[in-house]
């Protein structure tokens, strides 16, 4: 059965949101000092009220139930790749991507101020951060231990008074939990950057420099994916991301996530999606939103 999902128009434009940022509640995964909190401040401004959540699911739930206006979740990292949990949640949720923000990520190695570096044997952080600093961790001869959050790792060092351990987290986390940075910017790649999705209950109105995200499934036959993608290529629509993920509802079936330049209301995009509906077995619009600045500027 062919299905096509999108949400209704309209909603506030980005500039309208920025004007009322002090009243905006934004949910993110983590605690004070988390990179997701930094991304929220970068997008909405320091006047916004950020609300930390234990899990990605809790972020989505708070937005869905109206406890906050927006949520922010990491979508992909330039070094470590896609954060698959975010995409899986978007497939299952009725929330829309209403914006994106690129955050330059600089990881820092930190310990208690009175700890001795020569005694440090283990380093705690989120798996993504550990992956992004793998070379530095080996160089320092530390044993990586995964935790649920970068800032949470810094908090763990402080609260448990761990003098033989370090954390990898943001500079703001070091300030919040009063830790000493022993090595700054230890990420393996200089251009380390994370793309975050801003999630809301309805999309923005049409604007310039838009991107759109969809997910779809194809028929199980030769050339099915090529035929679907041809609808965009034939209309000069530039694809910026395509990725397949297992369909958790059907073993050994796959869904395709697609980002492309353009707004849903553009005639070329509209025609491409209408033709995609004829070829795909399932299509869901995840959002149409102002493109973020890949240079990491707010």
180-183 vs 165-169, strand pairing mode? unpaired
DSSP at 14: H
Q: Which of 196, 216, 256, 282 is catalytic?
A: 196
Q: Is residue 5 annotated as a catalytic residue, yes or no?
A: no
What is the Cα Rg of the chain in Å?
Answer: 21
Structure tokens that stand for 28 in this block: 């993110």
243 forms bridges with which residues in the sheet? 257
The residue whose two tokens read 């922010």 is 72
What is the rounded CA–CA span in Å between residue 201 and residue 196? 17
Q: Is residue 256 annotated as a catalytic residue, yes or no?
A: no
Q: Which of 50, 194, 217, 218 is catalytic?
A: 194
What is the rounded CA–CA span in Å between residue 109 and residue 166? 7
Instruction: Quote helix, strand, coil % in the chain, to nearest 5.
Output: 30, 30, 35
CB atoms within 10 A of CB 297: 10
Helix (H, G, I), strand (E, B) or coil at 258: strand
164: Cα separation from own chain's centroid: 32
What is the rounded CA–CA span in Å between residue 219 and residue 77? 30
Q: Which residues are catalytic?
A: 194, 196
């Amino acid at each position: 059965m062919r299905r096509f999902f999108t949400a209704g128009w309209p909603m506030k434009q980005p500039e309208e949101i920025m004007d009322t940022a002090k009243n905006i509640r934004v949910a993110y995964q983590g605690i004070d000092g988390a990179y997701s909190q930094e991304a929220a401040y970068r997008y909405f401004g320091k006047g916004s009220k950020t609300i930390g959540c234990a899990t990605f699911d809790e972020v989505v739930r708070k937005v869905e139930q109206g406890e906050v206006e927006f949520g922010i979740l990491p979508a992909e990292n330039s070094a470590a790749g896609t954060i698959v949990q975010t995409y899986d949640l978007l497939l299952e949720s009725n929330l829309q991507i209403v914006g994106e923000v690129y955050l330059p990520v600089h990881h820092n190695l930190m310990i208690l101020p009175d700890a001795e570096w020569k005694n440090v044997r283990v380093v705690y952080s989120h798996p993504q951060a550990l992956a992004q600093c793998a070379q530095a961790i080996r160089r320092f001869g530390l044993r990586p231990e995964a935790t649920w959050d970068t800032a949470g790792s810094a908090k763990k060092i402080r609260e448990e008074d761990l003098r033989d351990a370090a954390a990898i987290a943001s500079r703001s986390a070091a300030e919040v939990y009063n830790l000493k940075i022993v090595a700054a910017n230890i990420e393996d790649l200089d251009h380390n950057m994370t793309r975050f999705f801003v999630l809301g209950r309805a999309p923005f109105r049409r604007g310039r420099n838009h991107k759109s995200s969809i997910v779809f499934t194809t028929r199980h036959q030769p050339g099915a994916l090529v035929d679907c993608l041809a609808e965009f290529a034939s209309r000069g629509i530039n694809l910026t991301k395509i990725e397949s993920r297992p369909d958790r509802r059907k073993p050994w079936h796959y869904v395709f996530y697609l980002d492309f330049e353009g707004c849903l209301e553009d005639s070329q995009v509209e025609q491409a999606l209408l033709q995609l509906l004829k070829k795909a077995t399932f299509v869901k619009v995840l959002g149409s939103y102002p493109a973020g600045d890949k240079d990491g500027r707010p």
